[in-house]
Amino acid sequence: MAEQPSNPHDAFARHILGRTVNAASELRAVLPEHIVQRANWNTLRLLPGSYVSPQLRSRYSDLPFSVELDGDDAIIYVLIEHQSSSDHLMPLRLMEYMVNIWTRYVDAYPKTRTLPIVVPVVIHASPRGHRWAAPTELSQLFAASVPLLDSLGDVVPRMRFILDDMASVDLAELQKRPLTPAVRVMLFLQRHASGRTDLGITMMPLVPDLSAMAESPDGDRDLQAVVTYIMTVGETDPSDFDPLIERLEPRAKEVIVTTGEMLRAEGEAKGEANLLIRLLGRKFGELSESTIRQVRAASPGELHRWADQILTASTIEDTLA
């Protein structure tokens, strides 16, 4: 069973790159041309599962894709790093994941005598804009001089991964890439959204992409994901988005405004539910799990009524009647 996203960065990346048309546009932009030319992009498929441990989900997202390279089955393993600093041991981490991929492959095909090629790709989306400053090749981790490594040749593994360092790519360069609008917006936000108070301004050049997203088959869901991500990790006042929203095409404007209003209402209801749970606990003592679930699932009208009733009720049952 596929692992469920455990943080907003993971959820947003998976939502966008989990569709092959989006993943292909990013991979074609970052992979070396000789790999791009050998790949049959019509065969690109997202594979189920994740190789990142639950403890590291706040730092990494991974998406393994199958694809044919010169007619042979291969895997492109995409790892997205969300932390600000570079992982010095990233080549070792990737090697571990690649071995796990091969092990899982052998378990699935116990009679196989061959293994699929695995092409590792790392997307570094530092929210603080720190450029990648760590090894990109396994051999760079070895405690050995360059002459010694050269003399050993292919006796020691050198495994190099493809790095797409978002901190080294400004918006103008990102706009030159032949990406789908959804991927361009996702990459920009993964790099810039966290903690920003000026997204209404910095996102202005993305108005054409946001409008184009609304016209795609998954446009509504993609725009909802954009708004959800911004409201979860960003700190821009909602009113500061008004000039940007006014420049959008009608469909994009409608989806973004409606989603924003819905999320704000959900946030207010969650806050009211948490407050009522605290008041119930202080008045009646420790609450049962069923009572907490009942309050969290309540409608805004029920929460308002119960908040009034707690002032005079003598039992929890009377309060939640």
Summarised one tens digit per residue, pLDDT across range 239-251 is 889 999 999 998 8
Query: Could you say which of 168, 192, 216 is where a domain stops?
Result: 192
197 located within any domain: no
Domain boundary among 139, 169, 192: 192
Q: 173 and 55, same structural domain?
A: yes
> Can you spell out the DSSP letters for 129-166?
-PPP-S-SBGGGGSSS-HHHHHHHGGGS---B-EEEEG
Helices (H), the chain: 8-17, 20-30, 33-38, 90-108, 146-152, 171-176, 181-192, 199-202, 207-214, 219-233, 242-246, 250-284, 289-296, 300-309, 316-319
On whether both 176 and 51 belong to a single domain, the answer is: yes
Out of 136, 163, 192, a domain closes at 192
Whole-angstrom distance, CA of residue 13 vs CA of residue 69? 25
Asked if 162 and 32 sit in the same domain, the reply is yes
* Residue 130 Rama label (left phi>0; alpha psi -120 to 50; beta): beta
Mean pLDDT of 286-314: 83
In terms of residue numbers, what domain contains 275?
Answer: 261-319
Q: Is 156 in the same domain as 289?
A: no
* Whole-prediction pTM: 0.79
Same domain, 173 and 291: no
74 and 185 within one domain: yes
- With respect to residue 232, please indicate whether it lies within any of the assigned structural domains: no
202 contacts: CB under 8 Å, gap ≥ 6: 192, 196
- Number of domains making up the chain: 2
Residues 276 and 170 in one domain: no
Q: Are 222 and 182 in contact (CB under 8 A)?
A: yes
Give me the helix-helix angle, 181-192 and 20-30, nearest 10°.
70
In a domain, 215, yes or no: no
**Torsion angle, alpha carbons of 211, 212, 218, 220, to 10:** 10
Task: Return the percentage of the chain with pLDDT > 90, whole number.
Answer: 54
Q: Is 308 exposed, middle or buried (0-12, 13-18, 19+ CB in 10 A)?
A: exposed
Q: Are 139 and 271 part of one and the same domain?
A: no
Looking at the structure, do residues 294 and 178 belong to the same domain, yes or no?
A: no
Looking at the fold, whether 48 and 146 belong to one and the same domain comes out as yes
DSSP-derived letter for residue 218 is T
Residue 26 lies in a domain: yes
Confidence of residue 266 (pLDDT cuts 50, 70, 90): low
What is the band of 6 on the pLDDT scale with cuts at 50, 70, 90? low
The pLDDT of residue 232 is 85
- Asked if 12 and 135 sit in the same domain, the reply is yes
Residue 161: inside a domain = yes
Alpha carbons 237 and 245: distance in angstroms, whole number:
13
Question: Is residue 229 in a domain?
Answer: no
- Does residue 221 lie within any of the structural domains? no
Residues 175/107, Cβ–Cβ less than 8 Å: no
pLDDT tens digits, residue range 106-141? 999 999 999 999 999 999 988 777 899 999 999 999
Structural domain contains residue 203: no
Instruction: Encode pLDDT of 29-76 as tens digits.
Output: 999 999 999 999 999 999 998 888 877 777 888 999 999 999 999 999
Q: Per-residue pLDDT tens for 173-202? A: 999 999 999 999 999 999 888 888 899 999
